[in-house]
Amino acid sequence: MNYKYKFKLSGLDCANCARRIETALNENEKIIKGTVNFAKLTITIETPLQDNVKQLVQKIVNSIEPNIKVLDEKEEIKNNIKFDIGRLIIGIILFIISLIIKNNIIHEILIIAAYLILLFRVLKKAIFMLIKSFSIDENLLITISCVGAYFTNNIHEGLMVILLYEIGKILESLAVNNSRKSISELMNIKPEYANLKFNDKLYKVKPELVKLNSLIVVKQGEKVPLDGIVVEGTCKLDKRALTGESNLVTVKENEAVLSGSINTSGVITVKVTELYENSTVSQILNLVENASDKKAKTENFVSKAAKIYTPIILLLAILIIIFLPLFSSITFSDAIYRALVFLVVSCPCAIAISVPLSYFSGIGASSKKGILIKGSNYLEAAASIKEIIFDKTGTITTGNFHDYALTILDQKYSQEEIIKYYISGEMLSNHPIAHSILNLFENKKPFKISNFEEIPGKGIDYTYRKQYIKIGSANFCDSKDLTNAIYLNINNKLVAKLLITDGIKENAQETIAILKKLGLNVKMFTGDEKNIALNIAKKVGIENIEYELLPKDKFELLENEIKKYKGNVAFVGDGINDAPALRIAKIGISMGSIGSEAAIEASDVVIMNDNLDSLIALIKISKKTNKIIKQNLVFSIGIKVLILLLSTLGLASMWMAVFADTGVTLLTILNTTRILKDNKREK
C-alpha cells in the first residue's frame, strides 16, 4: 500500500532547481512518485513508507539545494528576500566607495569584498553542486562569467553583471510571489472557522473538528464552512467562488447549502451532512491544488531539455575559447570574454519559470469561473479539441422535470401506491431523472425495500414484500408502448407509466453555435428514443445525433470518434452514468454536478455552475494560456539565440547578456500574469 504526503518548500527560488529535485525524488527507490510544484512551492510524495518520510525528503532535497527546508503542509514559509536586499545594498555601497577611493590597495580590497558579497549566494550554490553531485547549473555559469571578467581586466563589468543578476533575481522572486498571491486570491474559498451550536451556545471551532449531524450557525458575511441542510432561518448565498455566477441564491429550511458559499444576508442554522474532508470546498481545493501535478507535454519537454541544456552551453563556451583564436585573428583574452557573455545569456530561467506558472495561472483563472481542471495536461489539450460530444439529460437539457403525466394501467393500485413504488426505488439512484422524480413527489414517504439494483441505461429493480419491482424503459419493463415514459412493472406485469417533461438549457443553442464557429464538430449521444432525441437536437442546432444508446453503446461509438479525430475528442456528460465515456475521451467534462463525488472522480474537467457556456470559457482560457506560453518560448529563445550569436561575433556585452537572462525572465513572468488579468476583465 502506498501513502501520499504533501510538504512545503522554504527557500526554493529557482525553477530549474525544482526540476532537479523532482528528478532526484523519482530516482530514489523508496519513492514511487515525487512531484515538485514551483508555482506553489509544494512537494508531493507517494511512497510505501509511513515513518521518517519528511526526513527522507529533506535529505534528498538538500542533496540538490542545501538551503531549502522541507516544512509540514500547515507550516508558514519564511521569505529570505530581506536578507538578499540587504546584501545587495551593501555590495552596491562598497562598489560606489571603490570608485571614489584613489588608493589602489583599498580600491582592490573594496572591489573584491563587493564581488564576494554579491556573489555569495550564487557561488555557494555553484560550489555545492560541483562537490555534492558533480553537476553544473546556471549558478556555475554566472560564477565563471564574473570571475572570468575579473581576471580578464573587465572588473567593473563583471561586478555589474552579478549586481544586475541579483537585482533581476530579487525582482523575479517578487513577480513570482505576486503571481502566487493572485492565484491564491482566486481560490480564497476555504472557511477558517465554524460556529458550532451546542447547548444553545456558539463555539468558534475549525471546520475539520465538526462532526456529522452537528448544528452550525452561519451569520451574515461569513462563509458556509460545511455542506449541510438548513434547519432554521433564511438567507441569500453568494456562490461566485464555487460556480463563477454573480446572482445571489435564496435558501430556506430543508434546502441544501454548500461549503464555500458566502452568506450575504440573514442567519441560518445548518445540520452538517458531510465532514470537512468530504465537503464541496475541500474537494474543490484538493482538485485545484493537485492540478499542477499532472503536467502538460510542453512542461515535460522543457523539463527534459533542461537536463542537457546547461552542459551543452558550457561545452560550446569552451569550444569558443579554443577555436576562435585558432581560426581568426581574435585574441585568446577576447575569446574568453565572448565565451563569458555566452555563459551569462544562456541561463534557462525564463523558460523554466514561465511555462509551469502559465499553466498554474490558467487553472486558477478557470477555477474562478467555476471550471475545475484536474491537470495542466487537460488545460493544454482543451485548445486542440476537434470534436465535442454531448450527452442529453442534465447536459443539454436541465435534467429538472417540472411537469408529469401519470397513467395507471392496473386499477387495483391507487395513485398514492404507484407514486410510493416509484420514489422507493428512485431515492437510491443517482440518475438525474431519479432526482427529478423525487422532487416532483417530495412529500411522499417511501416503502422499506430490499435487493435494490441499478442497471445502466435501462432502469432499476428491487424487492418489496416479496414483490419484484422494475422501473425504467419500455423494453426493460416489457412494454410494447415504446414511448419515452418511465414504466412500473410489478411481478412481471405492467402497472403504470410516468411521463415527465424536461426543458432545454437557456444558453444551449447559443453555445452550440459558438462551438461550431470555433471549428468544432458537435454531436449528441443519448439513450432517448429517436423522436425525442431529434426534437431536442433540432432545437439546439445539432445535426449529428445517435439515439437509443446504452452506456456501452456510447462507449463503443466514442471509441470510433476518437480514432477518427486522432484522440482530439471531448465528451460532456452528467458525470454519473456516463463514467466510461468520460474516462476514455481526451477530456471528459461533467456538467451540473456540483458537490458530486462521482462527477469529480469520473471526469477531467468539472463545470460547477451547470452552464454550457462555461465550455466556451474553458476553450478560450486554454487557447489563451497556450498562446502566452508560445509567446514566452519564442521571445525568450529568440532573444537568447540573438545575443548568443552577437556574443560569438563580439557584438554583445555582458550588460546585454544580463538583460537576455533576468530581463527576459521578468518580461515572460509579466506576460504570464495576463492570463489572470484577462480573466478579471472578462468578469
Residue ending a domain, among 273, 301, 332, is 273
Residue ending a domain, among 31, 51, 72, is 72
Is residue 268 domain-shared with residue 208, that is, in the same domain?
A: yes
Question: In this predicted structure, what is the pLDDT of residue 617?
Answer: 92
Q: Spot the catalytic one: 137, 227, 391, 661.
A: 391
Could you give the 3-state DSSP secondary structure of residue 183? helix
d(CA 158, CA 345): 14
**pLDDT, tens digit (0-9, with 9 covering 90-100), for 429-473:** 877 788 888 888 877 888 889 999 988 778 999 999 889 999 998
pLDDT bucket at 595, cuts 50 / 70 / 90: very low
Is residue 152 domain-shared with residue 297, that is, in the same domain?
A: yes
- Residue 20's domain is classified under what CATH number? 3.30.70.100
Q: Between vectors from CA 398 to CA 393 and to CA 402, what angle results, nearest 5°? A: 105
Residue ending a domain, among 72, 104, 122, is 72
Identify whether 457 is part of a domain: yes
Neighbours of 532 (CB within 10 A): 16
**Three state DSSP letters for 41-61:** CEEEEEECCCCCHHHHHHHHH
**Three state DSSP letters for 422-488:** HHHHHCCCCCHHHHHHHHHCCCCCCCCCEEEEEECCCEEEEEECCEEEEEECCCCCCCCCCCCCEEE
Cβ pair 543, 520 in contact under 8 A:
no
**Per-residue cell: 184:** 491564491
Is residue 347 domain-shared with residue 418, that is, in the same domain?
A: no
Is residue 640 domain-shared with residue 499, that is, in the same domain?
A: no
pLDDT bucket at 528, cuts 50 / 70 / 90: confident
Is residue 320 domain-shared with residue 467, that is, in the same domain?
A: no
Question: In this predicted structure, what is the pLDDT of residue 520?
Answer: 94
Write phi, then psi, for 8 (nearest 5 degrees).
Answer: -105, 155
d(CA 258, CA 244): 14
d(CA 59, CA 70): 9
Domain hosting residue 471, numbered range: 399-503
DSSP, res 80: -
Identify whether 542 is part of a domain: no
Is 613 a catalytic site residue? no
Helices first, then strands: H and E counts in the chain:
23, 26
Mean pLDDT score, 618-624:
93
Is residue 252 domain-shared with residue 231, that is, in the same domain?
A: yes
304 pLDDT more than 90: no
Strands (E), 130-266: 194-198, 201-205, 215-218, 228-232, 235-238, 249-251, 256-257, 262-265
d(CA 216, CA 272): 7
230 or 140: which leads in pLDDT: 230
Cβ pair 546, 523 in contact under 8 A:
yes
Is residue 159 domain-shared with residue 242, that is, in the same domain?
A: no
Identify whether 599 is part of a domain: no
Is residue 38 domain-shared with residue 85, that is, in the same domain?
A: no
Give the whole-number percent of the chain exceeding pLDDT 70. 87
Cβ pair 675, 362 in contact under 8 A:
yes
Question: In this predicted structure, what is the pLDDT of residue 185?
Answer: 58
**Three state DSSP letters for 289-342:** HHHCCCCCHHHHHHHHHHHHHHHHHHHHHHHHHHHHHHHCCCCHHHHHHHHHHH
Identify whether 477 is part of a domain: yes
Give the pairing type, strands 521-525 and 544-546: parallel
**pLDDT, tens digit (0-9, with 9 covering 90-100), for 406-435:** 899 999 999 999 999 999 998 888 777 888
When the pLDDT of each residue in the chain is averaged and rounded to a whole number, the result is 83
Grid look-up 432517448 returns 528
Identify whether 444 is part of a domain: yes
379 or 152: which leads in pLDDT: 379
Question: In this predicted structure, what is the pLDDT of residue 645?
Answer: 85
Grid look-up 462532526 returns 211
Task: State the pTM of this model.
Answer: 0.69
Is residue 415 domain-shared with residue 323, that is, in the same domain?
A: no
Mean pLDDT score, 251-277:
90
pLDDT bucket at 517, cuts 50 / 70 / 90: very high
How many independent structural domains does the chain possess? 4
Beta bridge pairs of residue 237: 249, 263
Identify whether 461 is part of a domain: yes
Identify whether 589 is part of a domain: no
- Residue 471's domain is classified under what CATH number? 3.40.1110.10
**pLDDT, tens digit (0-9, with 9 covering 90-100), for 91-136:** 899 988 988 888 888 988 999 999 999 888 888 877 877 776 666 6
Is residue 147 domain-shared with residue 199, that is, in the same domain?
A: no
598 or 532: which leads in pLDDT: 532
Q: Which amino acid is at 312?
A: I
Is residue 453 domain-shared with residue 471, that is, in the same domain?
A: yes
Is residue 95 domain-shared with residue 170, that is, in the same domain?
A: yes
Q: 76 burial class (0-12, 13-18, 19+ CB within 10 angstroms)?
A: exposed
**pLDDT, tens digit (0-9, with 9 covering 90-100), for 533-560:** 888 899 999 999 998 887 788 888 999 9
d(CA 239, CA 638): 44
d(CA 379, CA 360): 10
Mean pLDDT score, 666-681:
76
- Of the candidates 64, 22, 21, 14, the residue with the CA atom closest to the CA atom of residue 172: 14
Identify whether 617 is part of a domain: no
Question: In this predicted structure, what is the pLDDT of residue 324?
Answer: 86
- Residue 269's domain is classified under what CATH number? 2.70.150.10
Give 102's contacts (C-beta < 8 A, 6+ positions apart): none
pLDDT bucket at 87, cuts 50 / 70 / 90: confident
| CA dihedral sign, ordered 147, 149, 153, 154 | negative
Write phi, then psi, for 570 (nearest 5 degrees).
Answer: -110, 145
173 pLDDT more than 50: yes
596 pLDDT more than 60: no
Question: In this predicted structure, what is the pLDDT of residue 683?
Answer: 47
